[in-house]
Each structure stands twice: as structure tokens, then as C-alpha cells.
Chains A and B, each alone.
Chain A
Amino acid sequence: MSIQPAVDVSTSYSQPSDRKGRFFTAKRWGTPLLILVALTGLLVFLTVRGEPDKIESFALNWPYMAAKVDEHIRLSIAAALLVAAIAIPAGILVSRSKSKIVRGTIVGIGNIGQATPAVGVIILLALILGIGWSTAIIALVFYGLLPVIRNTMVGISQINPSVIESAKGMGMTGGQILRKIELPLAVPVILAGFRTTLVFSVGVATIATFINAGGLGEVLVVGLKLSREAVTLTGAVVVSCIALGMDWFAGLVEDLLKPKGV
């Protein structure tokens, strides 16, 4: 089995950023601009079409939208952070372990998590654990494990073997090699995986509404069920903007944490 960094689903996110030191790049300033244009467009559209009707105004008001955005962001960020806490150590374990069973089990869990339809996972978990926020988090974590596990493994294994050999030859212990050599050099690849997971989480968090865990999924469902396109459109645009914004922010962090000299 050859392992490659996560490039599926949301392909370009998974590649380590190639922006080196340059501050003004199209991508760094393009994304915020795009978000601004989308949100302004939405506001203009809603203003031009006039006062919302009674059903629409249930969703199309500032306090309600702010609460949903807040729930959504909390849900996705909490899930992504939990993924990092679980998947990075798991990835290290896999790259250290010579046992095929350990390797197969951990990668297998990640694969199952990602291959199972998210709606299926969340409903199954709700049946077992009951509905609510924590169940939604567990489902999101399960769903987002693979990119980070895989990128941690790849990030460590792609390090030039001669670097590891010379570290060994200089008398560094296994732990020192991991902390001072392997992890710093793997950071760009690991962060790329984390970024993928973060964007996944924002998308998948929309189904948290099915188990009463809130988020912008509620806006979408309301809009669809009651045939109010303006509501659906608002939910969709806002959720997309959050995903774009998170990806943009993670990209900045990636640039910041990338080791110098690499």
C-alpha cells in the first residue's frame, strides 16, 4: 500500500502551501475579496427583493443568523482541534510502528470514517449515543481523521533518510529525533492535512441539524422545507464563506509555522 498525502475531495487544499515569504499574493488577498463580494452580493439581493414575509423573517434576521454562524464555527473548530489531538499522535504511532496490524487498524478506522456517508454516521451515532452537540462532534471527528493521520504519516516518511541517519549517528535518542527533526520537518504536510479536515468539518457540520446540534444546516433545512429560496441561498452563501475563510486563515497559519530553510 503506498500512502500519499490527502489530495482527494478538496484536492488543492491538501498540498503544502508554496507561498514562501511573499506577502502580497493572489491567493492571500483573493479569498477575502471573494468572501466580501459574495456577502455584499447577498445583502444587496436581500435588500432589493424587499421585506421578507413572515416565514422568511424567522430566519432572515441578524440575531438568529449570528447565533447559527456562531454554533457552526464552534462545532467545526472544536471537531478539527479534536481531530488534531487524536490524529497526529495516531499518525506518529503508525509511522513508528513496524506492526502491520497497528498500521492497518489505524488507517482502516480513518478510511471507514471518511468512506461512510456522513449522514449515515451521524444518524447511527445518534441512535447509539442520543442526539445533541457531543454526538455531532464525535461524528465530525470520525469523519475528519483520515487526512490528518495520512498527512502525518507521509510528512514523516518523506523526510530524507540521510537526515535521520545523521541524527542517529550523532547520538540523538528516538524522542529527540521526533521532536527536533521529524515533526518540525513534517509540519507543512501535517498542516495541509489539518486544513483539509477543517474545511470538511465546516461542510459536514451542516448535517448536525438533523440531530438537533444546531449550525447553519438549520437555515438550509428551513429554506428547503418551506420553499423559501432566499433563506436557502443565504444559508448556502454564508456556509461557503465560512469554509473559504477558514481555509484562508489556516493557510496563513501554515505559512507562519512552516520551518525556515525548507
Chain B
Amino acid sequence: MSKATSGASIELTNVTKSYPNQPQSAVENFSMSINPGELIMLVGPSGCGKTTTMKMINRIIEPTSGSIKIDGEDILSLDQNILRRRIGYVIQQIGLFPHMTIAENVSVVPKLLGWDKAQIASRVEELLSLVELDPSKFANRYPKQLSGGQQQRVGVARALAADPPVMLMDEPFGATDPITREKLQDEFLRLQATIGKTIVFVTHDFDEAIKLGDRIAVLSERSQIEQFDTPANILANPASDYVSSFIGEGAALKRLALIPISSAKLSSTSATGPSVEISENLREALDHIVLNGGAPVPVTDAKGKSLGSISVKEISSALGADVSSLGIKKGK
């Protein structure tokens, strides 16, 4: 997947965080190398150290030992505040400044960096449009006049204000209702496709990780990496029982959502029933099949022209699963 990128690489080497009076380190020997423009998801249960790991990148938490480099530059030797102005930071509670308008909230970092007024004003307008908030309507409102979803968009706009190469996001959509969350996720994906930041995204929701991540790191206690791979590879080949348990039930169904219909081999036999567009994913196709009483459904292109049909068999083979072996498992 080629994308626009304005991101930087991040290199964590043997990063450890331990607190006095605690026998175990919160994070132990964490190493990871992140490519420019990559969206990395850190997934794990509460208390596994994923947030601590992320917060060491902007030094909200100081590492006890190890090294962290952004674009080859050792960030532990930089001034904390200078470093943080170059890293976008979005947290679950958003933390907008209640006494500042939306425009003022977004312009905090540009002001700290000493941009001139006209430059700030045009940047605020650009960013609010980018997160789909009409500047003429929202710029002069106060945070409490916005809904939770709108506030979180302002949070993202504010983090992007000075065009930082790196963004850290700590469960940014965790406090929103499922419908808003899904909408924010979709918008966020579209946004990332155009801006291509290097993003470290913390979540405990594996489905969110699959949906958003270029690569997912599944973490266990002390922030130990159990598996670090693309969503499709993790779903197809979980490295351990721990990872499988984290994926939970329905790994195959989750994988289907990642595979477009176009990568399945369509059957040429004609079918009747509700048709599905080729740009959709296999999960969508299966959904249609189920609604069609299990019978194959026609596949069309965007203009509605028929391209063939798809059945459970084609879906299974696209998944690389051997249908007969599944049958044997069931028989046991």
C-alpha cells in the first residue's frame, strides 16, 4: 500500500521502565522499530504497560533505561518541551482546554512555536475542515458546546496543528458510543491515508486494532511483545495461545473483513438474490449469502454490471482454509 507520508521512523531499543518499590518493571526491554508513515497498534489487557510504553516516546514518562530515536535522533537528550511540540498527542479524555475556543485550542502548539497570526488562522481553518468540522460554525465555540465525537475530532485536529511527524494516540475513541466510534475510525483511516503520519496507537480493543493498524503488536505483562505483525498474519497465524485468546472467537470472520471481494476467485455461474459490489470485503459478501438463505449471491462492479457470483466455497478458499479439514475438526 503506497501512501503519502510525512512521518518519521521511530526506534525503541531495550526500553525499560521500573518504579521504585515495585518488584516488577512496568515495561521491560521493549524494542521495536517503526517505519515512517506506519500506523502501529499496541494491544493488550489493562495494566500490561502499553500506555506506559507509548508515553515514554514523548517522555510524559521517563524511561529508566534504553534508547528511543525518532528519525535517528536520540530523543532522551532533547529538551522535553521541544520534543513534545513535535509529537501530536491525543488522549482518551481528550483534555480540551475548557476556557479556550475551538480555534484557540487548535492553535496552542503553533503559538508555542511562534507562528504568525495569519499563518495560525489559516492552519486552524484547514485543520477543522480536515476533521469535518465547519470552521465558520465551530471555530468560536467552546468545548462544552460540542458533542463527544466532535470534541474528539478537535482533539485530533489540535494534535495535528503543527504538522508533527509522529502522533501518539491513547485509546482516543474509547469513550465514545459504538456508532460514533465507528464513524470516527473511518474518518481517521481516511485522514491517515492523506497525511501518512507515523502513529503509535494504544487500544485494548482487538477489533479496532485490526481495523486501523498497519501492524499490530500484541503485548502481555511488562509490555512483552507476543507477536508483531500485520493484522492478516496475526489472524491467520497467531504466534501463541496468548495471542489466540486475545483474538477471541471468530478469527476467520475477522479476517474476512480484511480481504476485498476482488481477491477471491468468482464463480461464473449466475446467481439470484441481493447483489454485492466488488469493492466490498468478503465479510460483507458472506453477510449477503446468509441473508440469501445460504445460496450464492451475484457480484457487480460499481456501475452495477454483473461480474459473476460468490458462494461460501469461494470465500473459504480465498481465506486459504481447507473446507474439508474444517469438517474433520467439527467431527471430533
A binding-site residues for B, Cβ under 8 Å: 160, 162-173, 176, 181, 184-185, 259-262
Specify which chain A residues have a CB less than 8 angstroms from the CB of B80 in the assembled complex: 171
Tell me, in angstroms, the Cα distance from A163 to B155 when the chains sit together: 11
User: When the two chains form their complex, are residues B83 and A171 in contact, meaning their CB atoms are under 8 A apart?
Assistant: yes
Which 8 residue pairs are nearest across A and B when measured between Cβ atoms?
A: A261-B142, A166-B95, A162-B93, A169-B89, A171-B84, A171-B85, A259-B99, A162-B95
* CB-nearest residue of chain A to B93: A162
Tell me, in angstroms, the Cα distance from A166 to B142 when the chains sit together: 17
Q: How large is the interface on B (under 10, 10 to 19, 20 to 34, 35 or more residues)?
A: 20 to 34
Is B152 located at the chain interface by the 8 A CB criterion? no
Taking the closest CB of chain B, its distance from the CB of A221, in whole angstroms, is: 47
User: Of A160, A167, A169, A262, which is in contact with the most chain B CB atoms at under 10 Å from its CB?
Assistant: A169
* CB-nearest residue of chain A to B55: A169
- Beyond known contacts A169-B91, A261-B100: 11 more, CB 8 A cutoff: A164-B95, A167-B95, A168-B84, A169-B60, A170-B89, A171-B81, A171-B109, A172-B108, A261-B99, A261-B144, A262-B98
User: When the two chains form their complex, are residues A260 and B99 in contact, meaning their CB atoms are under 8 A apart?
Assistant: yes
Specify which chain A residues have a CB less than 8 angstroms from the CB of B94 in the assembled complex: 162, 166
Known: A169-B58, A170-B108, A171-B109. Contact between A163 and B97, CB under 8 A? yes
Taking the closest CB of chain A, its distance from the CB of B112, in whole angstroms, is: 6
User: When the two chains form their complex, are residues A169 and B142 in contact, meaning their CB atoms are under 8 A apart?
Assistant: no
Is B230 located at the chain interface by the 8 A CB criterion? no
Taking the closest CB of chain A, its distance from the CB of B119, in whole angstroms, is: 18
User: When the two chains form their complex, are residues B98 and A261 in contact, meaning their CB atoms are under 8 A apart?
Assistant: yes
Is B252 located at the chain interface by the 8 A CB criterion? no
User: Of B82, B83, B108, B155, which is in contact with the most chain A CB atoms at under 10 Å from its CB?
Assistant: B108
Tell me, in angstroms, the Cα distance from A162 to B100 when the chains sit together: 15
Specify which chain A residues have a CB less than 8 angstroms from the CB of B60 in the assembled complex: 165, 168-169
* CB-nearest residue of chain A to B84: A171
Tell me, in angstroms, the Cα distance from A181 to B89 when the chains sit together: 17
Known: A160-B95, A162-B91, A171-B112. Contact between A261 and B101, CB under 8 A? yes
* CB-nearest residue of chain B to A166: B95
Taking the closest CB of chain A, its distance from the CB of B149, in whole angstroms, is: 17
Taking the closest CB of chain B, its distance from the CB of A251, in whole angstroms, is: 20
Is B143 located at the chain interface by the 8 A CB criterion? yes
Taking the closest CB of chain B, its distance from the CB of A256, in whole angstroms, is: 15
Specify which chain A residues have a CB less than 8 angstroms from the CB of B142 in the assembled complex: 260-261
Tell me, in angstroms, the Cα distance from A102 to B46 when the chains sit together: 36
Task: Return 27 A-B CB contacts under 8 Å, by A number.
Answer: A162-B93, A162-B95, A165-B60, A165-B91, A165-B95, A166-B89, A166-B94, A168-B84, A169-B60, A169-B91, A170-B108, A170-B158, A171-B80, A171-B81, A171-B82, A171-B84, A172-B81, A173-B81, A176-B112, A185-B98, A185-B99, A259-B98, A259-B99, A260-B142, A261-B98, A261-B142, A261-B145
Known: A168-B84, A169-B60, A169-B89. Contact between A262 and B99, CB under 8 A? yes
Specify which chain A residues have a CB less than 8 angstroms from the CB of B144 in the assembled complex: 261
User: When the two chains form their complex, are residues A167 and B112 in contact, meaning their CB atoms are under 8 A apart?
Assistant: no
Q: For B99, give its contact among A169, A171, A184 (CB under 8 Å).
A: A184
User: When the two chains form their complex, are residues A170 and B93 in contact, meaning their CB atoms are under 8 A apart?
Assistant: no
Known: A260-B142, A261-B143. Contact between A167 and B97, CB under 8 A? yes
Specify which chain B residues have a CB less than 8 angstroms from the CB of A164 in the assembled complex: 95
Tell me, in angstroms, the Cα distance from A261 to B144 when the chains sit together: 7
Specify which chain B residues have a CB less than 8 angstroms from the CB of A184 in the assembled complex: 99
User: Of A162, A171, A172, A185, which is in contact with the most chain B CB atoms at under 10 Å from its CB?
Assistant: A171
Tell me, in angstroms, the Cα distance from A76 to B287 when the chains sit together: 77
Specify which chain A residues have a CB less than 8 angstroms from the CB of B81 in the assembled complex: 171-173
Taking the closest CB of chain B, its distance from the CB of A169, in whole angstroms, is: 3
User: When the two chains form their complex, are residues B97 and A181 in contact, meaning their CB atoms are under 8 A apart?
Assistant: yes
